[in-house]
Amino acid sequence: MSAVSTMSLDEDTNRGIARRIYDLIMWGDLPYAEKYVDKVLEVFRNDREDKGYAATKTAMLDLHKVMAIKDEIYTPHLLTDGEKLDRDKIRYNVDDENGDKITYEHINRPEFEVFGKQVRFDLPQWLAHNWLMRIFKHMKWTRTILDSWGWHKKERAFRDWYKDDVIGFYLKTASSNYDQALRALRVINDPYRPNEFAVTGFREVIYPKMEKARREFEELVEPGQQLPVMPMITASSEM
């Protein structure tokens, strides 16, 4: 991970990368986070200082977003993260010394693929609390089994597409057409707010957004295809 320091980026960007490395270790493990670092470094080596390293900052944000899949293991980690719980106490003016406490009840709808069919169910109210979330977040070992059953296969395919195809296109194109290569990296962002990741929401919302991003990418890389120019705003390291 010390390779990040070789990029000589601004302090905010370096902090952003470090935070996302931590997230991906929590999602999976150190080797998973190292794949993220390796890709960001590849983008950086083909980036331009005079463009404010816009591509590196875009890859830092978007690659993290597609790799940190909010599945039934990582979402419980986010819901029970210590910093998140501390922020809640401040937000709701909870005073432990006064005997105040917060009781969490989560509205979760786990979904699995069983024999080719999607099965979704609501957690019973008596189960939808932090104690169960803390159990779920320690079950990373189940991913290998569940993945073989098609668990979150669309999200995993989208992650691999962005990591391999989109970033691969940037690496091949940046030296000859930087603006087009950057537009490709930002294909999963809001076209008018290119620093904002746009492929968000519940499954019914996010899947059409994934398909739209794929179509727009194919249109972008097709020779001779003319598309509206995306605003070229230098990416910020802040989310």
Bigger pLDDT: 133 vs 168: 168
Q: What is the pLDDT of residue 61?
A: 94
Bigger pLDDT: 163 vs 8: 163
Q: What is the pLDDT of residue 178?
A: 96
Q: Please indicate, yes or no, whether residues 33 and 10 belong to a single structural domain of this protein.
A: yes
Q: Please indicate, yes or no, whether residues 24 and 58 belong to a single structural domain of this protein.
A: yes
The answer to the question of residue 11 being in a domain is yes
The answer to the question of residue 233 being in a domain is no
Last residue of one domain, picked from the residues 90, 117, 148: 148
Tell me the residue range of the domain where 111 lies: 74-148
Q: What is the pLDDT of residue 134?
A: 81
Dist. CA 162–CA 214, nearest whole Å = 9
Q: Please indicate, yes or no, whether residues 10 and 65 belong to a single structural domain of this protein.
A: yes
Number of domain units in the chain = 2
pLDDT tens across 57-86, in order? 999 999 999 999 988 888 887 888 878 888
Last residue of one domain, picked from the residues 148, 174, 197: 148
Q: Please indicate, yes or no, whether residues 80 and 122 belong to a single structural domain of this protein.
A: yes
The answer to the question of residue 8 being in a domain is yes
Q: Which of 196, 181, 202, 209 is nearest to 235 (CA)?
A: 196
Q: What is the pLDDT of residue 132?
A: 77
For the stretch 74-83, contacts whose Cβ atoms lie closer than 8 Å and that sit 24 or more positions apart, written own/partner, are 74/26, 74/27, 74/137, 75/108, 76/132, 76/133, 76/134, 76/135, 76/136, 76/137, 77/26, 77/27, 77/137, 79/104, 79/106, 79/130, 79/133, 80/130, 80/133, 80/134, 80/137
Contact between 122 and 157 under an 8 Å Cβ cutoff? The reply is no
Dist. CA 11–CA 218, nearest whole Å = 35
Dist. CA 172–CA 38, nearest whole Å = 16
Q: What is the pLDDT of residue 148?
A: 73
The answer to the question of residue 40 being in a domain is yes
Q: Please indicate, yes or no, whether residues 33 and 140 belong to a single structural domain of this protein.
A: no
The distance from CA 82 to its chain's CA centroid, rounded to whole angstroms, is 20
pLDDT tens across 171-220, in order? 999 999 999 999 999 999 987 777 778 888 777 888 899 999 999 999 99
Q: Please indicate, yes or no, whether residues 65 and 114 belong to a single structural domain of this protein.
A: no
Contact between 46 and 143 under an 8 Å Cβ cutoff? The reply is no
Q: Residue 159: CB partners within 8 Å, gap ≥ 6?
A: 66, 67, 69
Q: Hey, is 194 helix, strand or coil?
A: strand
Q: Residue 65: CB partners within 8 Å, gap ≥ 6?
A: 188, 197, 199
The answer to the question of residue 39 being in a domain is yes
Q: Please indicate, yes or no, whether residues 44 and 100 belong to a single structural domain of this protein.
A: no
Q: What is the pLDDT of residue 11?
A: 87
Is the C-alpha dihedral spanning 25, 30, 34, 35 positive or negative?
Answer: negative
Q: Please indicate, yes or no, whether residues 181 and 208 belong to a single structural domain of this protein.
A: yes
The answer to the question of residue 234 being in a domain is no
pLDDT tens across 90-109, in order? 888 888 888 888 887 777 77
The distance from CA 151 to its chain's CA centroid, rounded to whole angstroms, is 17
Q: Please indicate, yes or no, whether residues 171 and 133 belong to a single structural domain of this protein.
A: no
The vertex-67 CA angle with 65 and 71, nearest 5°, equals 95
pLDDT tens across 127-151, in order? 777 777 788 788 788 888 777 777 7
Q: Please indicate, yes or no, whether residues 99 and 42 belong to a single structural domain of this protein.
A: no
Bigger pLDDT: 123 vs 83: 83
> Which residue in the block uniquely carries the two structure tokens 């979150």?
152
The answer to the question of residue 231 being in a domain is no
Say whether pLDDT at 238 is over 50. no
Dist. CA 42–CA 162, nearest whole Å = 14
Q: What is the pLDDT of residue 223?
A: 60
Q: What is the pLDDT of residue 81?
A: 81
The answer to the question of residue 143 being in a domain is yes
Q: Can you give the length of the chain in residues?
A: 239
Q: What is the pLDDT of residue 29?
A: 94
Q: Please indicate, yes or no, whether residues 170 and 138 belong to a single structural domain of this protein.
A: no
Q: Please indicate, yes or no, whether residues 49 and 81 belong to a single structural domain of this protein.
A: no
pLDDT tens across 3-52, in order? 677 777 888 998 999 999 999 999 999 999 999 999 999 999 999 999 99
